[in-house]
Amino acid sequence: MPQRLSYRARLLLTIFASASLFLFAGATFWYQDWQYSLPTPRPKGLYQPPLGLRLDLPGEIVNLVSASARRPVFLHFFSPSCPCSKFNLDHIRELVDTFGERVTFLAVLEADDRDKALRAFASLRLGIPAVVDSAVNISGRYGVYSTPQAVILDEDGRLFFRGNYNVSRYCTDPATEYARLALEDLLARRTAPALLAAATIAYGCQLPKHRRGQ
């Protein structure tokens, strides 16, 4: 019959297991924080249309904005599986609450499984329509290659802004809320803002197409 461990041995084993779990959790958090603090690798041959260029809306979303003619359009590029996309959900809700009566908000979901992605997004209750960009046609049109990213079109369909929501992936720095600042400039009829590099260099999760090297 095997000997039972002494109280001291059980205590040491418990402490060791707890410490190992704590270290593993800390290392995982550190790795993710470090990973997403780096710029997303820029795909070879990427084309990004310049600001001010008029771009027709893709067919997938034309019907969703037809009732809101002559309003700016805000495209929120979101990946249900991307931690960085989830970090700014409260910020997106704030933008929709603040500007939703003057701007048409749409979510562009970067995922392969359409139904699963739409169900996951609906559960977030952001109150905006969504389309699934499984072939990355929409992101390709606007030069988006990571999530989360924002694209803002003025009421004439001209590209006004493409970039990050914040210098912080938690969207907690009001001074660098780039998408919000761009919306304020657009609605105030000011020209597109002169942006810091942090606003236009993509951070976050690389889109599946680029991860596959296509």
User: For 145-181, how does the pLDDT look when each residue is reduced to its tens digit (9 = 90+)?
Assistant: 989 999 999 999 999 999 989 876 555 677 788 999 9
- CA dist 34 and 123 (Å) reads 29
- CA dist 158 and 191 (Å) reads 12
pLDDT at 186: 94
pTM: 0.78
User: For 106-155, how does the pLDDT look when each residue is reduced to its tens digit (9 = 90+)?
Assistant: 999 998 889 999 999 999 999 999 999 988 889 999 999 989 999 999 99
* pLDDT > 60? residue 24: no
The percentage of the chain sitting over the pLDDT mark of 70, rounded to a whole number, equals 72
Residue 126 makes CB contacts below 8 A (sequence gap 6+) with 89, 92, 93, 96, 107
pLDDT at 37: 56
